A and B are shown apart, each in its own frame.
Chain A
Amino acid sequence: MAIASAPLRILIGKVGLDGHDRGVKLIARALRDAGVEVIYTGLHRTPEQVVNTAIQEDVDAIGLSILSGAHKTLFRRVLELLKEQDAEDIALFGGGIIPDEDVTTLTADGVKALFRPGAPIQEVVEFVKGLKWRD
C-alpha cells in the first residue's frame, strides 16, 4: 500500500567556511514551496555533522551549497561518510561555482547533480521531485 502523498524530506545546508547563504536559502524556500520537507541546517557544517543529521532525519537526499572552492574535498568526504554509514541510498546533490572538469569528476564519484550559477531554480525543483522513489 503506497502513500503517494508522503512528502520528500531533503537536507539543505552549507559545509565548510564560506558564509554566502543567499542561494541556499532561495533553494530551501523553493523546495518548501514545491511541497518538500526541508531540513535546513544553516552555515558552517562539517561533512560529519551533515551525514549524522541526514541519518537522524531519514532524508531522501542531501543538497549542499559550496562556494568556497573546496567542493571536491567536501563532496567526496560526504560520499565517503555515507558509504561508511551504509547510507548510500541517500542521494547527494549540490550547487556552487564548480568548473566543468570537476563536475565530470564529482558526478563520476557519485554526486547525483550539480547546479551552477545561472541554473533556473525550477531545474533544481524538478530534479528533487524526480527523487520521489529512492532505492
Chain B
Amino acid sequence: MNSLNPHPFMCDIHDLATLAEEVRVGDVRAVSRLISLLENHPGAREALRFLNTTLRKMMVIGVTGYPGAGKSTIVDRLVSFYRRQGVKVGVLAVDISSPVTGGALLGDRIRMSEHAMDFGVYIRSMATRGHHGGLARATGDAALVLEAAGYEVVLIETIGVGQNEIDIVNLAHTVVAVVAPGLGDEVQAMKAGLLEVAHVVVVNKGDLTGANHALRDLREWCPKVLRTVAMTGEGIQELAAAIAEHQRSRGVRHVEKARNR
C-alpha cells in the first residue's frame, strides 16, 4: 500500500509524487507519512506541488488560548458537531517540545478519544520542535495535506499560549480564543495580543464562579464573546454558529456551500 521508500528521511521526487497521489485519494497512511516527512525534511515540501491545494476549499478554524482553559475539549465537541453534519474533519493538535531535551508529551488526543474509531476524523499531534509562535513549523503544510486528502474542516489547536504566540492568525480563517474564569481582570483583556486578534472569544467553564464577570469584562473589548461549558457541550452550537457567521462575513465558502460545489 505504501510505496514510499521505507527509510523515513529520504526524499525522492518520484516517491513524493506517488505519495501525493495516495494522499489525494484519501489514504490515511500516506497522509500520516507525508506529514512526518514535512516535519522532518524541508525537501519534502516539493510534494506540496503535486497536491495542488490552497486552503481555499476547506474551512480552517484555529483554537487558541491559555493552558488548561479547555481548548482540547472544545475541539472535541466541535469535531462532534461537524461530524453530525457529515463533514470530514481533520485536527492538528500542537503541543510544546521541551527546550531542554527536544522531547514532548502530546496529550491533546486524550480528550478526543471518542473519535478514534471514526474514519471521517483524522487527528494528528504535532510538537513545536523549537518553533515559536504557538504552532509547529509544518502545521500549515499539514493543513494543505489534509485539504488534498478531502477533509472539509480542519481544527488547529495551538499550544497553550500567553500573549505573543499568534501564528495561528496567518493560517486560520477564523480564530477562536478560549479563556477560563478567574485568569485575570479587565486589564488583561485590554492588553495587546491573543484577545486582540481573535474573531470569537470563548469563556469556557462558564459554570464556574467569575464567569459572568469575565464575560462582562471581555465584552467591552472583544467583538464576539460566548459562554461555553465544553464538558457538557453547552454553548457549542452557538460557537459553531458564530464561526459560520464569521466565515460568511469574510466571504469564505462555508461548509454547506463547499459540499454542494
Tell me if chain B binds chain A.
yes
- In Å, the complex CA distance between A56 and B116 comes to 10
Known: A1-B43, A57-B125, A133-B7. A38 touches B36 (CB 8 A): no
Q: Which of A49, A56, A134 contacts B122 (CB 8 A)?
A: A56
Q: Is B20 an interface residue (CB 8 A)?
A: no
Q: Report whether B116 and A53 are in contact in the complex, using a CB–CB cutoff of 8 Å.
A: yes
| A-chain residues with CB within 8 Å of residue B35 when the two chains form the complex | 58
- In Å, the complex CA distance between A49 and B35 comes to 20
Q: Is A122 an interface residue (CB 8 A)?
A: no
Per-residue CB contact flags for chain A residues 28-48 toward chain B (1 = under 8 Å, else 0) read: 110111111111111001101
Q: Is A3 an interface residue (CB 8 A)?
A: yes
Q: Report whether A56 and B103 are in contact in the complex, using a CB–CB cutoff of 8 Å.
A: no
Known: A31-B103, A48-B117, A52-B116. A37 touches B9 (CB 8 A): no
Residue in B closest to A41 when the chains form the complex, CB atoms: B109
- In Å, the complex CA distance between A40 and B106 comes to 6
Q: Report whether B105 and A86 are in contact in the complex, using a CB–CB cutoff of 8 Å.
A: no
Residue in B closest to A32 when the chains form the complex, CB atoms: B103
Q: Is A6 an interface residue (CB 8 A)?
A: yes
Residue in B closest to A5 when the chains form the complex, CB atoms: B102
- In Å, the complex CA distance between A29 and B104 comes to 9
Least distance between B25 CB and chain A CB atoms (Å): 15
Q: List 17 A-B contacts (CB under 8 A).
A: A1-B9, A6-B40, A6-B41, A7-B104, A9-B36, A32-B103, A35-B101, A37-B127, A40-B106, A45-B116, A48-B117, A53-B109, A55-B28, A56-B28, A56-B122, A56-B123, A58-B36
Query: Which 5 residue pairs across A and B have the least CB separation, nearest first?
Result: A58-B32, A32-B103, A49-B116, A6-B40, A42-B110
Q: A46-B117, A55-B32 are in contact. List 20 more A-B contacts (CB 8 A).
A: A3-B41, A5-B102, A7-B97, A7-B103, A7-B127, A29-B105, A33-B101, A36-B103, A37-B127, A38-B104, A38-B106, A41-B110, A42-B109, A45-B113, A45-B116, A48-B117, A52-B117, A55-B29, A57-B125, A134-B8
